[in-house]
Structures are given as C-alpha cells and as structure tokens.
Amino acid sequence: MTETLQPVPRTHHLPGAVVTVLTGGEDTGGQWALLEYRVAPRFPGTPAHWHAETTEALYVLEGELSLSVDHARRPAGPGTFMRVPPGTVHRLSNDTDQPARFLVLVTPAGQEGYLGELAELIARSPTWPPEHPGVIERLTARYDQHPSLEP
C-alpha cells in the first residue's frame, strides 16, 4: 500500500537559520522527519555534536557549506550528500557570503521537536545563552543531541 503525505509545514526561526519541518514524526509514526534549512551567509553553524541513536542524511540544494565529520572539514556544494550515522561527531557552517539551503532527513524522528523547543527558548530568553545552562543540557539530552567534548 502506498500512502501520500500532505503535512502542513512548520517553520522555526533560529539565529541565522530558518528551518521548515516538511514532514515530522507525527506524519511518519516517529520513523523519520524531513527538514529544510535556509542559513544566512556566515552562519556560524551548529556546535560539534553527536547522536546516540539518530542517523542524519544531508543534501545540499544551494550555496556551499563547510561540513565537519569526525573533525575533518570539507566543503559541500549543491548535490553533496552526507550520511551521519550514530556516534559520529559532526557540525556544519556557512563560511561564505551567500545563503545556503539544504535538506536533512533524520531517523528516527525527533530533531524537529528539538528545533521547535530551541526556537521557543531563544524567543523567550532575554539573554543567550540562558542564565541557567542546565536548561540547554536537559533539552539536548531529551532529543539525542550530545555535545562533543573534543574541540
């Protein structure tokens, strides 16, 4: 049986990035989520992190990203695909003067919940990072986002 999904996209605004949840876990039984990222020029990116259970697959549509996998940096232009299995330290940034757009498929779903809660936290926090760093630690742990202890 083939099922066609027509979810209503949700958009989250983060500093330097707009993330649209094209399909979330509520649409896929928690199996996967598809996210579209639009990042600004010189977007500093995500801190180095890893996932215990989540696999990410990234596909660059426009612009050029700098991808770091296990601390090895490489450029990634349109058409670049990268799979990040659990346990792999990774990060990305946009080091150029042009915006970039890319898709991220995550399995199992959940990263979309993390991004939504993070966007809400940023919007209501008078300072960033928040005065109580335990808030961030609890959020990242709940969504399988583990900061890398290596530089």
Task: Show pLDDT as tens, one digit a residue, over the chain (151 residues).
Answer: 466 666 678 999 999 999 999 999 999 999 999 999 999 999 999 889 999 999 999 999 999 999 999 889 999 999 999 999 999 999 999 999 999 999 999 999 999 999 999 999 998 887 777 777 788 889 999 999 999 976 5
User: What does DSSP say about strands 17-23 and 10-14: parallel, antiparallel, or unpaired?
Assistant: antiparallel
Q: Identify whether 50 is part of a domain.
A: yes
Q: Which residues pair with 38 in a beta bridge?
A: 18, 101
- Tens digits of residue pLDDT in 74-109: 999 999 999 999 999 999 999 999 999 999 999 999
List the structure tokens of 56: 């990410």
The pLDDT value recorded for residue 150 is 65
The pLDDT value recorded for residue 3 is 67
The pLDDT value recorded for residue 112 is 96
Q: Identify whether 5 is part of a domain.
A: no
CATH number (domain holding residue 99): 2.60.120.10
Residue 140 near residue 147, CB atoms below 8 Å: yes
Angstrom distance (rounded) from CA 61 to CA 78: 5
Q: Identify whether 151 is part of a domain.
A: no
Q: Identify whether 48 is part of a domain.
A: yes
Give me the number of domains the chain comprises.
Answer: 1
Q: Which of 71, 65, 103, 90 is nearest to 145 (CA)?
A: 90
Q: Identify whether 150 is part of a domain.
A: no
Q: Identify whether 75 is part of a domain.
A: yes
pTM of full prediction above 0.75? yes
Q: Which residues pair with 14 in a beta bridge?
A: 17
The pLDDT value recorded for residue 115 is 95
Indicate the DSSP class of residue 52. S
Q: Identify whether 59 is part of a domain.
A: yes
Query: What single-letter amino acid sits at 26?
Result: E
Which residues, including other chains, have CB under 8 Å from residue 28's CB and lie 6 or more apart?
5, 109
Angstrom distance (rounded) from CA 127 to CA 142: 22
Q: Identify whether 115 is part of a domain.
A: yes
